[in-house]
Chain A
Amino acid sequence: MAPLLQLDSITKSFDAVRALKHVSFDLQPGEVHALLGENGAGKSTLIKIISGAHQPDDGSLTILGKPVRHFTPATARRLGVACIYQQPALFPDLTVTENVALRLEPASGFRRVDWSTRRIRAAEMLRQLGADINVDAEIRGLSMPEQQLVEIACAFGSGARILLMDEPTASLTQTEQVLLFAAVRALRDRGAGVIYISHRLEEIFALADRVTVLRDGESVGTSAVSEVTESSLIQQMVGRALTQTSPPPAGKPGARKLSLQGLGCAASGVRKVSLDLHAGEIVGLAGLVGAGRTELAQTLFGITPADSGVILLQGERIEIGSPAQAVAHGIALLPEDRRRHGIVLEMSVAANISMACHRRLFPRAWLRPAAERSLALGFMRDLSVRAAGPEAPASSLSGGNQQKVALARWLATKPEVLLLDEPTQGVDVGAKAEIHKLIRALAGAGMAVLLISSDLPEILGMSHRIAVMRGGSIVRVLPGNSTAQEVMSAALGQPLAPDRL
């Protein structure tokens, strides 16, 4: 039987980073093919190539036996590729019926709308997926999983036979997961192929027919799910020789600076987090996508303020209701989304660097261009930021340099507590080492650092302790000299059984 999708020896690089190296992959009709790998192993790049968002540098892509060139998202949709992301592309003010209809019906405007047919068809499609959703409900009023089901129905209904699902169960409850699985099985039974990315091994064993493991941009192997065990999968995911690229952290942590007790935020999913950060300590926050690490950082920084629990700073209870308050308390956050939150693209490097420390740098609210310039030049030198000058707009810098500017902004505030969310994402190896050195120096000078990273070697090499999150809370706190397997197991929710590894 001809595969729905065939990728041969796909290679893709971004600047000097090789995201995929000669990856081959195929999807048969009527199967659920899981894609497994650490964060940064190349899964999202592969997905983007399949959906047409990126073009491979080398290798070939074949859909239903026909090779495809100049693969754009529009072409992909036409050839039957559909992406089910966590944010469905639905119309929030319109009903389920209408959402399904608008996706399925042709785009010509001058025809009559048959509402009864529309309703029947939408209801039928949802029923086939096993979903019990009122077709007259507005999308805005539906829960996220319900919206996902509608999105799946739309995609399948409009002829998509290759469905890409990226962490679809990240925020679902048990019962909602069951519904989603039923929908996926229904799709499979109708001949579609589903590429299913998830970190939850139990899901893969429950749902998938085959599983491919990616590691460092390469495919480690494709096997039938019946032929593997959890431990063999984990071994494949992390099994490289872990040479420490950085020396283990020196120095002993000092007094307790920040103490979180039972911290929770219903809106963002943070659940009863308790953690202490000490002066001079680097605490790594590990976990998989959707575990709640960024949400915890955002709660600590006041973006989504906590509604339960206590935050103690130097022993005193504080409220953090907004980022401005967090900064006033000496807490800094380097956000994950650099382009939207880390910097303001249209403003200059110098303006970006000074943006969080107006109070200190510009007393009485008076701008001092010379002081700002020298501050910027200092950081540009220390972090080796390559730009035409401090006046250059941040948009003219490469991604790595933009990240350095974002970091410089927070270093300029001389914080007590530094929250770093993926600080070396998109940064080249040389700059990465510089940033690590800098973080260590900051910790050495007494700062408390929370390091969120999906890069296991980074976390293992930098942290005094590693807190592992899963499902919005901290499930385990490991010592800094733990192994990658231990961290990954904790992140996956596996019980620690060293003899099995």
Chain B
Amino acid sequence: MTRYFREISVTLALAALLLALAVVAPSFYQAQPLLSLVAREAPTLVVTCGMALVLICRQIDISVGSQFSVCSVVVGLLTSLHWPLGLLVPAAILLGAALGALNGALVAGLGLPSIVVTLATMVTWREGLRWLREGLWVDLPRDTQWFGLSQTVGQWTLVGLSLMILALLALAMRHLAAGRFVYAVGSDVEAARLAGIRPRWITFAVFVLTGAFTALAACMNVAQSPQVDPNSGAGLELKAIAAAVVGGVAISGGRGNLWGALAGLLLLACVGPALTHLHVEAYWEKATHGAVILLAVVADGWRNRKLDLR
């Protein structure tokens, strides 16, 4: 099925990379470091889910990194105040949803370009957080890391949780009518309106959902260490966009799915350690992300051109 060409090719590339690593740098395949790597990427995966949703709707949200930082710090602070998990998570989700709602209101309500709106909110939240916290990390009570479980079990829990969230969202986007509406709005707003869909509400909802997912990811982030780094969201939006775009989610909206984004994320996540094992410095990571996004965009543009010229 050439419809899923991108998703398939990314998965193949991932398999090839894993294979190459097995041959060239077998030290990559050690149980504990590998599990730690995957667990560390679990929050990013959840954010990528939200980002994929936004991109499919033909928008963009570069404020997720700052939202992540804000939510992480708030969750950390509430944890140190001994809030129970049952209250903590919903509170975090509410906060994330509120942050997302602001983006959504400006983009859907006023018709402002999402790039500029989320650029502004990104800086506002980031600087506001830095101002209020003065760069201080949040120390967490001793028994709260890994939800009080052992490290290995905790890591597996996080990985499982993120995959479950991915699966649920993927299911909703495939089998829930509202999920299909997101694709419709991203593909052609006018046709969507003609079909009776309300594009503004869909767009608003997408930003709110992204905020909620980011908050969830922040909870997962807090659970991983004894402290919360107020800068933990830096660069997260680019990672999420890169993963989604590599995984076949089109910038022009209306196409792509979460499984491709998962493959894309894993591919990018393995590139870092692969470079390390090949004795290339880690500083090339940012450059790699940028290059990867460019390659994916060029490939998509070329593909669209071929199709449209028929």
CB atoms of A and B under 8 A apart anywhere in the complex?
A: yes
Check A267 against B309 for contact (C-beta < 8 Å): yes
Check B310 against A109 for contact (C-beta < 8 Å): no
Residue of B nearest to A102 (CB): B195
Check A109 against B181 for contact (C-beta < 8 Å): yes
Check A115 against B175 for contact (C-beta < 8 Å): yes
**A448-472 CB contact bits vs B (8 Å, 1 = yes)?**
0000000000000000000000000
**Contact of A110 (CB < 8 Å), options: B3, B177, B190, B310:** B177
Q: How far is the CA of A111 from the CA of B175 in the complex (A)?
A: 8
Q: How far is the CA of A143 from the CA of B307 in the complex (A)?
A: 10
Q: How far is the CA of A90 from the CA of B176 in the complex (A)?
A: 20
**Given A94-B183, A108-B177, A109-B178, residue A89 in contact with residue B191 (CB < 8 A):** yes
Check B184 against A143 for contact (C-beta < 8 Å): no
Which of A16-24, A51-59, A133-141 has 4 or more CB atoms under 8 Å from chain B?
A133-141
A316 interfacial contact with B, CB 8 Å? no
Check A102 against B190 for contact (C-beta < 8 Å): no
B126 interfacial contact with A, CB 8 Å? no
A92 interfacial contact with B, CB 8 Å? yes
B1 contacts across to A, CB distance below 8 A: 136
Residue of A nearest to B309 (CB): A267
**Given A102-B197, A267-B309, residue A92 in contact with residue B178 (CB < 8 A):** no
Check A94 against B187 for contact (C-beta < 8 Å): yes
B309 contacts across to A, CB distance below 8 A: 267
Q: How far is the CA of A132 from the CA of B179 in the complex (A)?
A: 29
**A74-87 CB contact bits vs B (8 Å, 1 = yes)?**
00010000000000
A101 contacts across to B, CB distance below 8 A: 180
Size class of the A contact interface (CB-based, 8 Å): 20 to 34
Check B176 against A94 for contact (C-beta < 8 Å): no
B127 contacts across to A, CB distance below 8 A: none
Residue of A nearest to B188 (CB): A91
**B172-211 CB contact bits vs A (8 Å, 1 = yes)?**
0011111111011011101110111110000000000000
**A122-153 CB contact bits vs B (8 Å, 1 = yes)?**
00000000000000101011010000000000
**Given A102-B195, A106-B196, A267-B309, residue A93 in contact with residue B187 (CB < 8 A):** yes
Number of A-B contacts (CB under 8 A): 76
Q: How far is the CA of A109 from the CA of B198 in the complex (A)?
A: 10
* A111 shortest CB reach to chain B, Å: 5
**Given A93-B250, A102-B195, A107-B198, residue A112 in contact with residue B175 (CB < 8 A):** yes
A31 interfacial contact with B, CB 8 Å? no
B195 contacts across to A, CB distance below 8 A: 102-103, 107
A105 interfacial contact with B, CB 8 Å? yes
* A59 shortest CB reach to chain B, Å: 27
**Contact of A93 (CB < 8 Å), options: B176, B177, B183:** B183
B96 interfacial contact with A, CB 8 Å? no
Q: How far is the CA of A109 from the CA of B307 in the complex (A)?
A: 31
Q: How far is the CA of A94 from the CA of B174 in the complex (A)?
A: 12
Check A94 against B254 for contact (C-beta < 8 Å): yes
Q: How far is the CA of A267 from the CA of B310 in the complex (A)?
A: 8
A93 contacts across to B, CB distance below 8 A: 183, 186-187, 250, 253-255
Residue of A nearest to B304 (CB): A140
Q: How far is the CA of A299 from the CA of B55 in the complex (A)?
A: 36
B143 contacts across to A, CB distance below 8 A: none
Check B254 against A113 for contact (C-beta < 8 Å): no
* B235 shortest CB reach to chain A, Å: 29
Check B190 against A89 for contact (C-beta < 8 Å): yes
B308 interfacial contact with A, CB 8 Å? yes
A166 interfacial contact with B, CB 8 Å? no
B194 contacts across to A, CB distance below 8 A: 77, 89
Check A92 against B174 for contact (C-beta < 8 Å): no
A372 interfacial contact with B, CB 8 Å? no
Q: How far is the CA of A113 from the CA of B255 in the complex (A)?
A: 18
Cβ contacts A to B, 5 pairs, < 8 Å? A94-B254, A107-B198, A109-B176, A115-B175, A138-B3
* 10 closest cross-chain pairs (CB), A and B: A109-B178, A93-B254, A107-B196, A91-B187, A93-B187, A93-B255, A89-B191, A102-B195, A113-B175, A109-B177
